[in-house]
Structure 1
Amino acid sequence: MEYLTRILRKVAKEAEFKFHPRCQSLKRAHLCFADDLLLFCKGDYISAHLLLRGFKLFSNSSGLKANISKFAVYGAGMNSNTIDRLVDLSGFQKCSMPFQYLGMKICAKRISKADCVSLVDKMFCKELYKFVELICGKGVDWSCSPGHVSWSVTCRSKSEGGLGFRDIALWNFCAMSKHVWDISSKKDNLWVKWVNIIYIKQGDWWNHVAPVDAIWYWKQIVQVKDKLKTVFSHQEFHSFSFTIASLVSKLNIVAGRWQFAMIWDRFSYPKHRVIIWLALLDRLLTLDRIQRYKPLQSIACMLCGNAVECHSHPFFSCCVSSKILVEVLQWCNISYHGHDLKNLLKWIGKKKIRKAEGRFLSA
């Protein structure tokens, strides 16, 4: 491939050779990708003839011949006579755009929404979100009503009040941000050089505005850059040690909710963990919440009947449950007089820390 590259570069220096309009600035006439070879030139007979002559020299020297059944000639903005002459000269088959490459349509015009259907079918983020949310929140695979906990909260880590699911939309945004970071850090690769020449044109990337006639993907990258500007200054982002995971952590900052870490103790029952998790989020289906969308005859506590069943009532305010709690604490020889679930978890956490410190000191 190094030998082929040298031949094609020599061909590109010929006075009669003309580059493809989008490759003129980079002086690029070919790309090698995996086991594919792409040749580019202006749509005239002489330029294409020079490329084919250089390729024939490579074949004669190396013994590597083109597989005629896998080679094709594509022309954009060329007259049919020129294309027919090139087909006769090369022996390759004549094909028309668009064509499929790595699952994506390649065409000379803008890619339409319909052209992306095959990719959209594979990337069903919204449908996947809804399915997982329903399975985890309600135990069913279809429902019109919302779940008990929002998906954004569910995607937080367990220590921050979620269930640790990955937010696919956030990860996709951070993956696209890698392109923004590559341009900002002036990474030495062909794509960065190309967008700098075609779009940025020695301008200020951090304040760049996508041209009206820019292709769709470039506009999306610029939109990602503009969103990042609300979080980073240019200098901060340029010096940021970029990984997708580190950016996700940076953008997914949640106020400290350390008490949630106490829920997921391996010695507790899964059912109990979920109940306490929902209680801390104020998402238990207490009667006062059910009353909002379903009329009830009474929303009084079904244990004591003396007060409205709300989140602050069942665990400590109810005379029945509070009596049971007192007896359990006495039976376990534990002295606790709080009346709040969060404070209780905080108290348990301190007890566990002190117990661990005692074991460390005794060891």
Structure 2
Amino acid sequence: MRPVSGKEVKDALFSIPDIKSPGPDGYTSKFFKDVRGEVWGDVIEAVQDFFLQRRLLTQINATTLTLIPKCDRPQNKAYDTVEWQFVEQLMRLLRFPPEFKSMERAQTSKGDTKSMMLLLQSFSTFSKACGLKISAAKSNAYFRGVPDQIKNDILRISGFTDGALPFKYLGMPIQTTRHKKVDCACLIEKICGRIHSYGARKFSYAGRLILVKSVLNTLHSYWASMFILPKEYKRVPLVAWDKICKPNEEGGLGLRIRKRGTRQWWGICWVWRRICKVKQEIAHGFVDGVWVVQPSGYTPTGCYEWLWNASPPVCWNKVIWNNWALPKNQFIGWLVAHEVHNTVDKIASYGIDVDDRCLLCGQSEKCLSHLFFACQYSKRVILALQQSTGCNLPLVTDLVWWSSRGCTIVQRGAQIALFLGALYSIWYQRNRCRIDKVLMHPSQLDLQIVDGVRSRIRGREKLNMNVNDITWLSQKNLI
């Protein structure tokens, strides 16, 4: 085997992504890339020595093994039953040099007193180097299937306390079984604590969505990256979770709630069953060994989207999620697009006896279309907006009509913002009339809608605007 050159070492190092996990010394590949001028010679020398001496330092390939036996007194460990003949055959198929055969059987530490003494010696060396010391009073040792004599010797040598499962590590409950609802109580407490601290009950729908995306989903994702969490719904949501978790362009809210953990520390058997189930699902995408889901062939991204059950884009996506509209108005528009408001007809479908008259106009409130598009009060609100701004705002049930307006992006965005503001205000007045028995006059409501849109536009007046757009907004009293 020819010697390895410095250029090959450099190419191999730069092929490692910067975000990969660090080595035992805590340094990632990015560190060696950035300071290669100071340590480059040592790195090349260490790699070349490995190929020359055919020996790998245990410090370079160090790792931590956590053994959880499935019986009280196991006779064999996983590393005792490796089929080395299979490993050698695999290395030949992968065209490893013959010299690697002498390196393959690396020694693995076992859970006995000798390994503990070596571990304590390493801790002592580490303490002398950095000044940090282990607090034996705060350290626990966890045993399973270990003879009492060895267990007592290890506790005596280390000074650690005999721990018991389950326990918490970095705020996570570590146990040998699948997590149930009761095991996630601390996660629920953290989420509820964040909700109460932010006063989320006073938030609008849009404010709650931002809270979920920026704060609560982070807590959930941290747990879901480690464990597969149980599912439980206490109430039926207005929109199904499968739709909510879809991207905005597919009609959802862009929430990516993890249903499966990306890493699993415990319960390997049922995780393996889940992997096999996904494998069977992917197999349905192949016909005679050919991936038929995408014409361009198999790609990991295409397979993920297929498993995620990606839906075609909805036609009203750019209308609802228009950056010129207030977030609370966008959310109400999203609910209107899904037709999920609790109008009289929907409340009656739940078996609740309710007056079917519209609270805004006194006529029969048959459905959502009447409330927003046929109600006389709603028509008067739109008429007041047309008179105060001069914009053409017809009450149309087809949201696609707004995306096909023949005007500039700024002009179309401003008119959509007025329309979504009207939807929000009409819904707010309807609920206020039901609860407080108070209804605002359409002309006063018109002033509130225009003020909200004007404030939003003024915050964006320097973005994507030309002279014609500014002139048009000024004529419409929107700037």
Question: TM-score, with normalisation over the residues of structure 1?
Answer: 0.52
Q: Are 1:121 and 2:174 an aligned pair? A: no
8 Å CA contact 1:29–1:40 kept in 2: the answer is no
Which residue in the other structure is 2:243 paired with? 153
Residue 325 of structure 2 corresponds to 268
Q: Count residues in correspondence.
A: 281
Query: Which of 254, 277, 286 pairs up with 2:311?
Result: 254
User: In the alignment, which residue of structure 2 is the partner of 1:355?
Assistant: 408
Which of residues 335, 359, 370 is equivalent to 1:278?
335
Between 1:154-163 and 1:324-333, the stretch displaced more is: 324-333
* 1:93 maps to 2:159: yes
Q: C-alpha distance in 1, partners of 2:256/2:316?
A: 22
Structure 2 unaligned runs (5+)?
Answer: 1-23, 25-55, 63-74, 83-104, 209-233, 411-464, 469-479
Deviations 1:23-73 (A, max 9, x none): 21356765xxxxxxxx424x6xxxx44x46866997999996996854877
- Report how far residue 216 of structure 1 moved: 2.5
Equivalent pair of 1:68/1:92 in contact (CA under 8 Å): no
- Could you list the per-position Cα deviations for residues 225-280 of structure 1 after superposition, in whole angstroms to 9, with x for gaps in the alignment? 4045325558869964469xx94785051232131321232333455434432221
Do structure 1's residue 310 and structure 2's residue 367 form an aligned pair? yes
The answer to whether the 8 A contact 1:4-1:55 is kept is no
Aligned to 1:218: 269
- Of residues 29, 40, 48, the one that matches 2:110 is 40
Give the CA deviation at 1:349.
Answer: 1.1
How many Å apart are 1:219 and its aligned residue?
0.9
Q: Does 1:299 align with 2:389?
A: no
Question: Is the Cα contact below 8 Å between 1:69 and 1:92 reproduced in 2?
Answer: no
Q: Is the 8 A contact 1:155 1:167 kept in 2?
A: yes
Q: How does 1:323-362 map to 2 (within 5 A)?
A: 332=390, 334=392, 340-342=396-398, 345-351=399-405, 355=408
Q: Do the aligned residues in 1 keep the contact of 2:319 with 2:403 (CA within 8 Å)?
A: yes
Distance 1:73 1:7, change over 3 A: farther
- Give the aligned residue type for 1:40: K
Task: Report the CA distance between 1:83 and its aligned residue.
Answer: 4.5
Using a 3 Å threshold, how does the CA distance of structure 1 residues 94 and 298 change in structure 2: closer, same or farther? closer
**Of the candidates 79, 87, 106, which is equivalent to residue 23 of structure 1?**
79
CA contact (8 A) 2:141 2:163 kept: no
* TM-score computed with the length of structure 2 as normaliser: 0.42
Distance 2:320 2:397 in 1: 11
Aligned counterparts of 2:371 and 2:275: Cα–Cα separation in 1: 46
Q: Which amino acid aligns with 2:248?
A: K
Give the superposition deviation at 1:346. 1.8
* Sequence identity (%): 15
Shift of 1:295: 1.5
Question: Can you list the C-alpha shifts for 1:141-163, whole angstroms capped at 9, x where unaligned?
Answer: xxx86443344433333333333
Residue number in structure 1 paired with 2:218:
none
Contact 1:73 1:95 (8 Å CA) reproduced: yes
Classify 1:263/1:239 alpha carbon distance in 2 versus 1 (closer, same or farther; 3 Å).
closer
Shift of the 95–172 alpha-carbon distance from structure 1 to 2, 3 Å rule, reads same
The answer (yes or no) to whether the contact 1:159–1:257 under 8 Å persists in 2 is: yes
C-alpha distance 226-328 of structure 1, shift in aligned 2 (>3 A): same
Partner of 1:23, secondary structure, is helix
| CA deviation after TM superposition for structure 1 residue 134, in Å | 11
One-letter code of the match for 1:161? G
| Matched residue type, 2:341 | L
Q: 1:240 to 1:80 in 2, by over 3 A?
A: same
CA deviations 1:200-240 (Å, max 9, x no partner) are xxxxxxxxxxxxxxx72331242244045325558869964
Hey, what's the Cα distance between the residues in 1 that align with 2:314 and 2:79? 53
RMSD: 5.7
- Conserved 8 A contact 1:74-1:96: yes
Return the alpha-carbon distance in structure 1 between the equivalents of residues 353 and 311 of structure 2. 35
Q: Please, which of 344, 347, 369 is the counterpart of residue 290 of structure 1? A: 347
Q: What residue is the counterpart of 1:80 in the other structure?
A: 148
2:408 match: secondary structure: helix
State whether residues 282 and 311 of structure 1, in contact with CA within 8 Å, keep that contact through their aligned partners in structure 2. Answer: yes
> Which amino acid letter does the alignment assign opposite residue 342 of structure 2?
L
AA matched with 1:24: D
**Alignment-derived partner of residue 196 in structure 1:** none
